[in-house]
Amino acid sequence: MSESADAFPNSDQLFQQAFADPDPVPALLKLLNEHPIYKSVRDLVFVYFDEIERNPSRGQALASSLVRLGKSPDAPTYNSSTLSEALWVELRDAHFKLPRDEEVTEYGPKNTYLLDSLLSGLSLQHNLASGGDQLASIDDGLDAPKNGSEESEVLVVGACIQLLMSGSILLAEDVGTYRKTAEEVAKKLKDQKAGGVVNDPHAIKVLEVWF
């Protein structure tokens, strides 16, 4: 998935090696302090996404590592921004925007939109980042066209993934027009089920967690 030109020689490979550690934080901190330029943060985020794409089961652990990384007193700063703030900006600007080598549109575990939904859900859950593209994708699922298309099914399931991970974000005042009550969300998802938008049995299980 990575689209970055190296911030420093072999940055992608070195970040990959760091993320492979049982605790990636010390190795990531070392790399960032050795190369304290903003583009290093961007490369780190791209590799973080790549690692979760390779092994989604590591998502929670790697997201937790980013939280600890950003809060570390040993982390570099970038002009007036802390590392945590720099990570927020880079994650927010990458969710649902990065091009992929092979777009997969049909419903299934290789679906790139569902991967984006997982990545976004992790950011929302761990308070790593939130932005309009993430919140809009939830709305897209709640209001997906009831036309029986695979695209609508994927939009609904993608919204469910994010909502299951951090649905409470929609209750916050600072999300503006995206704000909704749990009852409003449940009603919209019930309407999607009643409208036959979701048909895959695994997708239906994800949807029914809300009821």
Boundary (domain end) residue, out of 94, 124, 143: 94
pTM equals 0.92
Residue ranges making up the domain that contains 116: 104-211
203 lies in the same domain as 133: yes
Asked whether residue 78 is assigned to any structural domain, the reply reads yes
CB atoms near residue 93 (< 10 Å):
14
112 lies in the same domain as 197: yes
Boundary (domain end) residue, out of 66, 94, 122: 94
32 lies in the same domain as 109: no
Radius of gyration over every alpha carbon of the chain, rounded to an integer in angstroms: 18
Pick the closest to residue 153 from 195, 101, 99 (CA basis).
Answer: 195
79 lies in the same domain as 157: no
Residue 78: beta bridge partners? 81
Q: Name the strand (E) or helix (H) holding 151.
A: helix 150-166
Tell me phi and psi for residue 81, to 5 degrees: -100, 140
Amino acid at 108: G
90 lies in the same domain as 111: no
63 lies in the same domain as 130: no
pLDDT tens sequence across 135-171: 999 999 999 998 888 889 999 999 999 999 999 999 9
Residue 81: beta bridge partners? 78
65 lies in the same domain as 13: yes
Boundary (domain end) residue, out of 70, 94, 118: 94
Average pLDDT of the chain, as a whole number: 91
111 lies in the same domain as 206: yes
**Percent of the chain surpassing pLDDT 90:** 74
Place of tokens 């590592």: 65
Q: Judge whether residue 99 has pLDDT over 90.
A: no
Residue 2 — very low, low, confident or very high, per pLDDT cuts 50/70/90?
very low
161 lies in the same domain as 84: no
Domain count, the chain: 2
Asked whether residue 99 is assigned to any structural domain, the reply reads no
57 lies in the same domain as 133: no
pLDDT tens sequence across 21-60: 999 999 999 999 999 999 999 999 999 999 999 999 999 9
Give burial (CB, 10 Å; 0-12/13-18/19+) of 141: buried
